Structure 1
């Protein structure tokens, strides 16, 4: 008989308790998880809202810099010297083009785009996203713009982009003064970072490289703007959320007179040289031209290697700004030495020396020659400047000594920066015994002092220094800092819905301590002699200013640039061009109340000197400046040989002043 299987009786109460415990544990787990979830949501939405919103916006919103318009530059009469012109470039978005190779070929054939530009485009295309525009041609002509506009419907994805680029309407006429802008390079980027200006140049491609464009870069550039745009996960712009417009750079009005600048270029023609004209009343530069020059517009768009080599290898050296380069001053410094001689009581207005045509130091065989081989005979102070007598200044320099000469000439600004608003200025050289010892470790010799006495030896001056020194002379010791900037203009900020207006601020310049001399009559003695140089029949500058409608004064100079033997006669035609003399001239007018000072330097003239080459150039500058005005000396008792009447002839004035 089989045993009966035992059946266990289920404990429903125990099972119910177990289930309840498990349910409670699960419920508590869910509650904890929900609490954690809500806690995390609270942290995301409340506690850390700003933090994560910022992260989100960084992924969704992109802030793009907007380039400001560069300030314009005008001459003193409102003539535009540097402007911003629209440049049209041809660009392609590859994503919108079915066959990029065929499209590039077709467009290039239509617009006559070179193969080099096509190859460069295809190379750049590989480095950018397909929805980003890539430049095919950087600068379209008006004809190309018109031609493409007519055929644009044939080329989806191809479009013309316009932006502003610097343009100099007068090309080479203003290059050495205005300078130019060009693409920002690595050196510029490092400098901007050091100055903390990197962000302000985030959208800027070009920066001032030379001249006023570089000196006043901070005023001309302006302030960068911004636009906030929404982008998708691929970086494509969906819409613009916010826009902060850039602040345009300030406009500059210069002291330059562009018509006077034109006369300077025409007067120099094919000659190498420089002209500086300034107003001695305030130091404002009216003209500043170096010849030859070059077209700055070539550098704005990125000069080609071929064009750059052409300029760099030009034997006329157009890259040099000759207005800021040192030249031997020659006889133009004789009035300054005469003033020093008067101050030191080594000479007076009646002091005379005998000029046999040469000067000789004691126990020295070498003879220092006068430009007139047979000499000038008995020469006093006035005659020495009128006739530019070398022997008189050999003797004066020997008695003064190099230390007294250099100390006084430094007060006139020789051998130092003038303070002009250009970084390219040279100090030139004002030699002294200490200077020679420091530079060459050699003693100073007496013969070198004699050469300094006629503006030779180591002494060099820039045309700008020379013009400033004449300005100090006519102002009788008052020193005005030469400058190119006259005023600055900018738009006022909008307030209460009012329209912006253009505000113009004149620029003021501090004066340097004046030169104080023992006897103020000495100024007049020297200035009178310079007056005679131009107004007295037979004086060196007379022929150049015959019939002038204004009462001018000046001083000629001819600088020897290569040594000649003791008994050798100088013949320009038999010498290499680089060994020919330089022609120098300084002038001011009107004599009683000077308004303009002109300094002229012309290199390696074929024949003649300052009187025949440089003085006529200064005459053209002054003719342009004064136009039809007649200004003559009114005090005939002070200058008895000036009592003649000036016959006035009408002079065509090419523009207003």
Structure 2
């Protein structure tokens, strides 16, 4: 009995000990829970509450409507319309190929749509949605809505889509939009503008779509949406409406534009070339032609490889923006400016007659007139009218290349004119300093006096743009007033009720003497009345001033120019510059027909038709626009390029002329591989 009592006492003690230890353990655990509850509910309340709120509320960007682009008369050149799309979220789809196959059973999905989808998928975030098909019709949207329960992770959405109703017309000046690339994202982040592009897929790539991107884009809106734990929207808590981009009203007249384009794109004899027409008193660009052209609608959602190869491999280079990116010798169209430089610098009097035996001899070499014509004693007026090379050859050595460079640059030669388009080249207006920087070989860095002889007739190292020639012609017509050339005339925002004119005042005025201008202009008038363009302008109801030009593309070295024996690519360039009416200019024109032959027979007729159209008394001229909410020749020798002018075999480019990088998304075929997860599908790399 005693032993039993002893064991019972020990067991009771052990039990009490266990109860105490267990109670202490439970109390310790509850203490931890209470402490943790204190930390979560008191110490970290603000942070966790904010995170919970963020999980409950989703910020959805609302992309703004891109501004419209219209011509001076209100004709739409670029606009945005609402489009419905089918999009797939990779994170919610196990096998994208199977989903696409099932979707094809209820709505059409082309192979090109699939290629584009996979191209976008390769660069998309796993949790973002990627567009599969656009331009969904109402019937297709209704069909998908009825079957949407079968496709988790697939949604019907709306977006703004860019459209260019005029197709190839004025494509180079309007440009196009394309999908935002990695380089675009890096630039937006660097400029601190990436937040304004949330929810936006495209950005301006070329033309005014690129140069006015920030103005056209607008401001992104935001929507605060309450979502459930499953991620479905419950209600809209707050909404900030997007602000649409400004509309651009151009100075371009599409009637004139299409007429001029038709002159280059004649189906029986299509020509490569460029034409720019400017209103001299305002700097407004009235027509901007680059032939051949392309359809900008091809680039909006990424151009397919077939169309890209067709455009990029075309020997006529339809993607080249010729007026500002193509550089050429401008031949005899340079002579009026050389003559004006001689007068302004006091190098030669207008009445001084220079013997013209048909050639100019310098350093033991003879430089002959075009066609080896002989003009006898020649004044400045006659030299311009008959286009005497000998007269201007003789000016070169005594004027000097640097004096000519400095004078001509005032008119816009050899510098960016300031036109509101990306990718404008400076070209080459030669000088001693230019040659020192252009060549690495010290022997080639030396400028020789004889080289100025070819430069004085627009050949040699001269390599200029048609925009520069048009601007120089416009400045000459305006008596030295330099109005910056511009494509966009007005910026209009109907939401903010503001309108702004792009160019109001001249940049500067060149100090030119009226008597010197009178000499040059009278000579240019007589070019069209009695000189190389007299047959082309016979019967015109207005008096026009102009100058024809023919520029060599290689050195003849004294040989005769035989067009029949040469490849088309070696034919001379045909040029013309001029303005009309001569006494009160309304339009200044410069143009080139690449490898077209003589300026007097090929380029001048195009200029005549442009003048006729713009100055026609029957043309319906629109009144000056103000925004409604605004507050405020056979018997004559054919004009050929001189066979003895120096045409460098290789002229180094101006190092400041960098090619505008706007390589589009190019969609190539991809292997038909299936995705068993949400990982991106393999596609070919973007062509660079």
Q: 1:561 aligns with which of 530, 547, 553?
A: 553
1:583 and 2:586 matched: no
Pairing 1:517-532 to 2, within 5 Å after superposition: 517=512, 519-532=513-526
Pairing 1:48-59 to 2, within 5 Å after superposition: 50-59=46-55
Residue-by-residue CA offset, 1:528-565 (whole Å, 9 max, x unaligned): 1111111x2x3112222222222211110000111113
Question: Shift of residue 300 of structure 1?
Answer: 0.6
Alignment-derived partner of residue 228 in structure 1: 224
Q: Normalising by structure 2, what TM-score?
A: 0.78
8 Å CA contact 2:356, 2:377 repeated in 1: yes
Which deviates more, 91-100 or 375-384? Answer: 91-100
The change in CA–CA distance for 1:112 and 1:65 in structure 2 (over 3 A counts) is closer
Partner Cα distance (2:43, 2:140) in 1: 60
- Structure 1 unaligned runs (5+)? 7-21, 494-501, 629-650
Residue-by-residue CA offset, 1:593-618 (whole Å, 9 max, x unaligned): 1111000111001x4x1111111111
Alignment-derived partner of residue 207 in structure 1: 203
Q: Normalising by structure 1, what TM-score?
A: 0.82
The change in CA–CA distance for 1:219 and 1:101 in structure 2 (over 3 A counts) is closer
Partner Cα distance (2:90, 2:389) in 1: 77
Q: What is the root-mean-square deviation in Å for CA atoms of aligned residues?
A: 3.8
Alignment-derived partner of residue 609 in structure 2: 620
Higher Rg of the two aligned structures: 1
Question: Shift of residue 380 of structure 1?
Answer: 1.1
Partner Cα distance (1:127, 1:282) in 2: 46
Alignment-derived partner of residue 367 in structure 1: 366
The change in CA–CA distance for 1:336 and 1:134 in structure 2 (over 3 A counts) is closer
1:485 and 2:488 matched: yes
Alignment-derived partner of residue 67 in structure 2: 71
Question: Shift of residue 252 of structure 1?
Answer: 0.9
Residue-by-residue CA offset, 1:462-501 (whole Å, 9 max, x unaligned): 11111111122122222111111211111345xxxxxxxx
8 Å CA contact 1:624, 1:653 repeated in 2: no
The change in CA–CA distance for 1:95 and 1:579 in structure 2 (over 3 A counts) is closer
8 Å CA contact 1:96, 1:157 repeated in 2: no
Question: Shift of residue 98 of structure 1?
Answer: 14
Partner Cα distance (2:482, 2:170) in 1: 26
Question: Shift of residue 111 of structure 1?
Answer: 4.9
1:546 and 2:563 matched: no
1:533 and 2:522 matched: no
- Structure 2 unaligned runs (5+)? 6-18, 625-688
Question: Shift of residue 294 of structure 1?
Answer: 0.9
Residue-by-residue CA offset, 1:187-207 (whole Å, 9 max, x unaligned): 000000000011111111001
Pairing 1:635-646 to 2, within 5 Å after superposition: none
Question: Shift of residue 110 of structure 1?
Answer: 6.0
Partner Cα distance (1:123, 1:611) in 2: 51
Alignment-derived partner of residue 256 in structure 1: 252
The change in CA–CA distance for 1:654 and 1:617 in structure 2 (over 3 A counts) is farther
8 Å CA contact 1:96, 1:156 repeated in 2: no
Alignment-derived partner of residue 302 in structure 1: 302
Determine helix, strand or coil for the equivalent of 1:545: coil
Question: Shift of residue 42 of structure 1?
Answer: 8.7
Alignment-derived partner of residue 390 in structure 2: 391
Determine helix, strand or coil for the equivalent of 1:355: coil
Determine helix, strand or coil for the equivalent of 1:554: strand
Question: Shift of residue 590 of structure 1?
Answer: 1.2
Partner Cα distance (1:222, 1:403) in 2: 46
The change in CA–CA distance for 1:146 and 1:191 in structure 2 (over 3 A counts) is same
Partner Cα distance (1:100, 1:349) in 2: 79
The change in CA–CA distance for 1:94 and 1:348 in structure 2 (over 3 A counts) is closer
Alignment-derived partner of residue 169 in structure 1: 165
Which deviates more, 146-155 or 290-299? Answer: 146-155
Alignment-derived partner of residue 423 in structure 1: 422
Question: Shift of residue 137 of structure 1?
Answer: 2.8
8 Å CA contact 2:486, 2:503 repeated in 1: no
Alignment-derived partner of residue 89 in structure 1: 85
Residue-by-residue CA offset, 1:436-482 (whole Å, 9 max, x unaligned): 12212321223211101110000122111111111221222221111
Alignment-derived partner of residue 511 in structure 1: 506
Pairing 1:462-477 to 2, within 5 Å after superposition: 462-477=465-480
8 Å CA contact 1:552, 1:590 repeated in 2: yes
Partner Cα distance (1:222, 1:434) in 2: 44
Higher relative contact order (CA 8 A, sep 6+): 2
8 Å CA contact 1:108, 1:118 repeated in 2: no
8 Å CA contact 1:276, 1:323 repeated in 2: yes
Residue-by-residue CA offset, 1:191-231 (whole Å, 9 max, x unaligned): 00000011111111001111111111110111111111222
Determine helix, strand or coil for the equivalent of 2:508: coil
Question: Shift of residue 126 of structure 1?
Answer: 13
8 Å CA contact 2:249, 2:491 repeated in 1: yes
The change in CA–CA distance for 1:337 and 1:119 in structure 2 (over 3 A counts) is closer
Alignment-derived partner of residue 434 in structure 2: 435
The change in CA–CA distance for 1:621 and 1:95 in structure 2 (over 3 A counts) is same
8 Å CA contact 1:256, 1:287 repeated in 2: yes
Question: Shift of residue 512 of structure 1?
Answer: 2.6
Alignment-derived partner of residue 9 in structure 1: none
The change in CA–CA distance for 1:102 and 1:313 in structure 2 (over 3 A counts) is closer
Question: Shift of residue 53 of structure 1?
Answer: 2.6
8 Å CA contact 1:436, 1:444 repeated in 2: yes
The change in CA–CA distance for 1:81 and 1:121 in structure 2 (over 3 A counts) is closer
8 Å CA contact 1:624, 1:654 repeated in 2: no
Alignment-derived partner of residue 216 in structure 1: 212
Partner Cα distance (1:65, 1:299) in 2: 25
8 Å CA contact 1:376, 1:389 repeated in 2: yes
Partner Cα distance (2:375, 2:195) in 1: 69
The change in CA–CA distance for 1:600 and 1:116 in structure 2 (over 3 A counts) is closer
Partner Cα distance (1:131, 1:401) in 2: 67
8 Å CA contact 1:540, 1:556 repeated in 2: yes
The change in CA–CA distance for 1:47 and 1:293 in structure 2 (over 3 A counts) is same
Alignment-derived partner of residue 344 in structure 1: 345
Residue-by-residue CA offset, 1:240-298 (whole Å, 9 max, x unaligned): 22221111111111111111110121111211100000111011111111001111111
Aligned positions, number: 598
The change in CA–CA distance for 1:613 and 1:109 in structure 2 (over 3 A counts) is farther
Alignment-derived partner of residue 636 in structure 1: none
Partner Cα distance (1:323, 1:422) in 2: 11
8 Å CA contact 1:553, 1:588 repeated in 2: yes
